[in-house]
Chains A and B, each alone.
Chain A
Amino acid sequence: MEPLTQLDYKLLLAVPLIPLLGYVVNIFFGRKLPRQGDWLLTGGMFAVMCITVYMFFKFVGAGGFHESVAEGGPAYGWLYSLGHGKADGLNVVAGILYDPLGAAMLAAVGVVSFFIHLFSMGYMQGDRRYHIFFANISLFTFAMLGLVLADSILFLFIFWELMGLMSYLLIGHFSHDPDSPRITQAAAASKKAFLTTRVGDTCLLFGMAIFYWKFQTFQLSELWALSAEEVARNGGEYPAWMTVGGLFIFGGTVGKSAQFPLHIWLPDAMEGPTPVSAMIHAATMVAAGVFLLGRCFPMMSPTVLAVATTVGAFTALFAATIGCTVNDIKGVLAYSTISQLGFMVAAIGTGGLGLVAGLFHMVTHAFFKACLFLCAGSVIHACHHEQDMQKMGGLRKKLPITFAAMLICTLAIAGAPLFAGFYSKDRILQSAIQSWATGFGGASAFAVIALTLAAALTSFYMFRLIFLTFFGEPRDHHVHEHAHESPWPMTTALIALALGGVFAGKVWLRDFDLLGHHTWFTDMVSADTLYPGVQLANQLTIDAHTSHLAHSWALGISLTVAFLGFSLALWIYGLRRLDPARITARLGEVYAAVARKYYVDELVNATVVRGTSALSRGLTWIDARLVDGVVNLTGSFNRGLGFFSAGFDNRVVDGLVNWVAYTTQAFGAVARLFQTGRIQQYVSFAVAGGLLLAAGLILF
């Protein structure tokens, strides 16, 4: 195991900082730069891609590694409190964690992000806020790269939140453009995305807080070690509080990775420009939830994992059914993303092999889903921003490169052998079967069934998309007339990512292993390499025989359902043997419910949205009536008090003064009686007074 050198460390540090710098430059000077700075940012991303890929290959070549720079290498201390030490106060150190998962993810994000920047150079031409768009996606990339490199859950959360903000800004890109026809929908969609993921973020915050409260640390490596110790101390069982904390952390995944019931934001997020969809909903943001699960796996009790499996499998099936009914080309891909994320989450939930498989699928999904979105963008661009598939058709000859890339990636997502998705999906199914076989929770049975069905549906709706868009007679001639292949930045990106869609799973040019026993990811990443030195108590040991059996079953099932899906799509949409309209009529109400996305949005609107509005109205009433009432009451009370004071002042105080004057006057009136002016009377008084005085002196 080689430690990271100083140069490596600096390179890794540069990786997130380059897009950040690009953001700052473009925000302040973007308008004044030639071509509004897109070449600058794209060039920066090219550098990032080179660095990440170089670092990746360097370490893959070294044959396994793990280095967390926080302890061994240089680290930056941050937020030292007065305690000056672990024992007292918050002691947060910002460091870099570069392990196999991080390396793979970093490279994937770097590559995908660069090609999306390249694509945007063609796609976003003529946009009013072109430079801000580039700045935003650069900052978003910064956030994702930072998240991947974070070695403490606190920093992961910080970048997580930053991504949430950037997704709001990016999805709502058109809401700042007064000329856009969909300005209100964009604003609503960005708000929905932000608020829904917020729910997940709050759960993640609770989870983090619970773990901090018990373990007094945010460092991931320490959290793993301490969790394992805690479990061991508890006799091999996960304590209840860890289940609670784990559930909260999983809540974050549910929000960010659009699992049921917080999936509602993702289809609406298609209001954003297509490169944004590619970035956010393929490679990066939605993957962050899965990445979080991967990072926090040792802290998840079997209960949490079972919940994850159930939720993921359900979501996969749920989203796949809806995807079959959607006519918007991006909408299909959105539901496809939700479904694939369900696959990943369910896989991790089954533990063991599933952990690796889910993370593997995350990496491959990044490539082919990004490519699919960009192809959709290319199609939309060619059809002059027409997104409804029912108006397309027969674009195969007009957009050859786009068609080729899309076909490759569809094969990948469907799980055709030799394509990237096959290797990862196959393993997911194998893991599910394994855990079902060894009785690791009843959720696995559900997972196997649901995932199988979902895989079938995936294949079906993706090929439906292909047939509707590229084959058949053009349904809208006006659109068809003007369709043309996209400019070189876009097609280059498509080609590059499509190649990723092929080879991201296994570079089978070197080692032609049809059944995919060895892939670069599974060789590199495993529970031991991810969490070195930590005894995991939440998975079962599988013997080789069961594993082999499960692998065979998985292989068979996945290939069968993939082919089934493809044939059905071909039958209905390709060869037109069955009329889809009649099928929908036959299904009737069921179809309507599915087409309306099972009325989840309506339910949320009725309960959450209305409830919150009612609550806020209630609180406003309280404020206006009670709070203001209290204030006004105080005012009135003071006024009343004032009256009393005034009265007191008038009657008592003034009365006192007046009484003094009156008494003086009375005395004066009496005394005046003596002043008669008659001297004889004066003499009498004087004599009388003198006699009295003498008498007084004599007597006393």
Chain B
Amino acid sequence: MGVEAYVAVSAALFALGIVCIVARRNILYVLMGIEMILNAANINFVAFNRFNGDGLDGRMFAIFVIIMAAAEAAVALAIVLNVFHLFQSIKPSEVDLLRE
């Protein structure tokens, strides 16, 4: 099999995640894209861990990434709810208070 296949999948999923973030006019898609990207990273870690000898590092890192993703998703959704409340809109392009 080889690690290239897993890396290829990971790369493809990463690309999909980027597109998901950028190409839709909905904040929730941004969150979904972020999850896809994190998953891609996880696949990468675990794949390399499998094919590079004995060790726990890759899988451990992947566990921590999952933990972080969960925390991040919770906080992100809380923020999204506040944003909905404030701007009455789900379009990220309307949340541009930080524009210069």
Contacts and interface: CB of A to CB of B under 8 A. Distances in A.
Interface string B15-45: 0001001100000001000000000000000
B91 to A, nearest CB: 9
A226 B97 CA distance: 114
A679 B96 CA distance: 8
A676 B96 contact: yes
Contacts of A678: 92-93, 95-96, 99
Contacts of B21: 680, 683
A677 B99 contact: yes
Contacts, number: 32
B92 to A, nearest CB: 5
A407 B94 CA distance: 142
Interface residues of B, number: 12
A695 to B, nearest CB: 15
A685 to B, nearest CB: 10
A649 B57 CA distance: 66
A541 interface: no
B96 A677 contact: yes
A6 interface: no
Given A678-B92, A678-B93, A684 B99 contact: no
B100 interface: yes
A628 to B, nearest CB: 65
A680 B93 contact: yes
Interface in A670-696: 672, 675-680, 683-684, 687
B5 interface: no
Contacts of B56: none
Contact of A683 (B22, B95, B98, B100): B22
Nearest to A679: B92
A684 B92 CA distance: 13
A672 B30 contact: no
Given A684-B22, A687-B18, A679 B99 contact: no
A167 to B, nearest CB: 100
Nearest to B15: A687
A443 B22 CA distance: 133
B18 A683 contact: yes
A675 B93 CA distance: 12
B93 to A, nearest CB: 5
B22 to A, nearest CB: 5
A680 B18 contact: no
Contact of B30 (A675, A677, A680, A687): A680
Interface string A612-634: 00000000000000000000000
Interface residues of A, number: 10
Nearest to A683: B21
A676 B98 CA distance: 7
Contacts of B18: 683, 687
B95 A672 contact: no
Interface in A377-394: none
A677 B97 CA distance: 6
Contacts of A687: 18, 22
Contact of B99 (A675, A680, A683): A675
A675 B22 contact: no
Nearest to B98: A677
B48 to A, nearest CB: 18
Interface string B30-70: 10000000000000000000000000000000000000000
A693 to B, nearest CB: 15
A468 B21 CA distance: 146
Contacts of B95: 677-679
Contacts of B30: 679-680, 683
Nearest to B25: A680
A678 B93 CA distance: 5
Contacts of A679: 30, 92, 95
Contacts of A683: 18, 21-22, 30
B35 to A, nearest CB: 14
Interface in A140-190: none
Interface in B75-100: 92-93, 95-100
B92 A675 contact: no
Contacts of A676: 96, 99
Residue of A679, A684, A687 with highest tally of chain B CB at under 10 A: A679
Interface of A: 672, 675-680, 683-684, 687
Interface of B: 18, 21-22, 30, 92-93, 95-100
27 contacts: A672-B100, A675-B98, A675-B100, A676-B96, A676-B99, A677-B96, A677-B97, A677-B98, A677-B99, A677-B100, A678-B92, A678-B93, A678-B95, A678-B96, A678-B99, A679-B30, A679-B92, A679-B95, A680-B22, A680-B30, A680-B92, A683-B18, A683-B21, A683-B22, A683-B30, A684-B22, A687-B18
Given A672-B100, A677-B97, A679-B92, 13 more contacts: A675-B98, A675-B99, A675-B100, A676-B99, A677-B98, A677-B99, A677-B100, A678-B95, A679-B95, A680-B22, A683-B30, A684-B22, A687-B22
What 9 A-B pairs have minimum CB-CB distances, sorted nearest first? A677-B96, A677-B99, A675-B100, A677-B98, A672-B100, A678-B93, A683-B21, A684-B22, A676-B99
